[in-house]
Amino acid sequence: DLLFLSSITDVAYGAEYTAEIAVVYDGGQVGAYGAPQTFFTGAVPTMQVMAIFNSSNTLLSLSQYIRATPKVFLATSYEWSVVRTDITDIPFLYNSGVAVRVARVSDMPLAEGGTYNLEVRAIVPGAATVFGPTEEVVVLGGSGMVQNDEDTSPEIVEETVVKDNVISAAVTMYPNPAKDFVTLNITGIAEGTDKVLVAIFNTVGQLVQSEQIPADGNYVNSVVALNGLAEGMYNVQITVGNTVSTERMIIQK
């Protein structure tokens, strides 16, 4: 006989259980229990993003859906990490709030002609979950084609990604180590830049927080709340215009 864990209440991921089995016979009589058996439940399954047709189909229209697999028992919702790669844009997280593993392109929303890196994870109360592998998707333009003409293609700038504060604007981030907030000070921002994008990643590259900060002239001085992030090391990606600086941040409670 088989016992499915999904039929038992209060079973959790990543836990140890001991079970004893007895035979019930003759209208409800219970025989002797056997020797205790110990078993472990695994971690929450890692999910994968795929197009609704198949995993190799990455060209999507706004009316199509993106599917995540597999279905995760006890999941209350599914969260999508969205990073646009063809232009500089703020990464964001999309959560529909329901346990449905498909997301409509226009609901997330993804833009016509955009190229995105997507990751997904299940949200399971009381359990740690991680984002799965990255899947690149391209959203068709309004004419049904990928936008690649001279007027709509993003300008390619050499060496747009730099690390460790190698950036034309001067970046200061304090305190570091931080606890509940960090102050971000940026000076020397080029004329015409009206916003700064801040994205925080954990040590395995998962986006955990992002926000957009308006620039006041050629500088930014703003407090970034850390929204209850756990202790540990993080990479803070600061995008100013067409350049990106990565600052290392430590959170200590």
pLDDT, residue 161, reads 35
CATH fold for the domain made of 48-139? Immunoglobulin-like (2.60.40)
Which amino acid makes up residue 245? S
pLDDT, residue 118, reads 92
Bridging pattern class, strands 65-69 and 102-104: antiparallel
Report the alpha-carbon distance of residue 174 to residue 170 in Å, rounded: 13
Within 8 A by CB and 6+ apart from 40, the residues are: 15, 16, 17
CATH fold for the domain made of 170-251? Immunoglobulin-like (2.60.40)
In the DSSP assignment, the letter for residue 5 is: G
Distances 59 to 28, 51, 142, 224 between C-alpha atoms, Å: 59, 8, 13, 36
pLDDT, residue 142, reads 55
Write down the domain spans for the chain. Answer: 5-40, 48-139, 170-251
Cα dihedral 137, 141, 147, 149 in deg (nearest 10) = 180
Phi and psi at residue 162, in whole multiples of 5°?
Answer: -130, 165
pLDDT, residue 59, reads 72
What tens-digit pLDDT sequence spans the chain (253 residues)?
666 666 676 778 888 888 888 888 887 888 888 898 888 888 888 988 875 443 344 677 888 888 888 888 888 889 999 999 988 888 999 987 888 888 888 888 898 888 899 999 998 888 888 899 988 888 887 544 444 433 433 333 333 333 333 345 678 888 888 888 999 888 888 888 888 888 888 877 788 888 888 888 788 888 999 878 888 888 888 888 777 777 888 888 8
Q: Where on the phi/psi map is residue 97: left (φ > 0), alpha (ψ -120 to 50), or beta?
A: left
pTM of the entire predicted model: 0.52
pLDDT, residue 58, reads 62
The two domains 48-139 and 170-251 share their CATH topology (first three levels equal): yes
Phi and psi at residue 82, in whole multiples of 5°?
Answer: -125, 120
Report the alpha-carbon distance of residue 115 to residue 146 in Å, rounded: 9
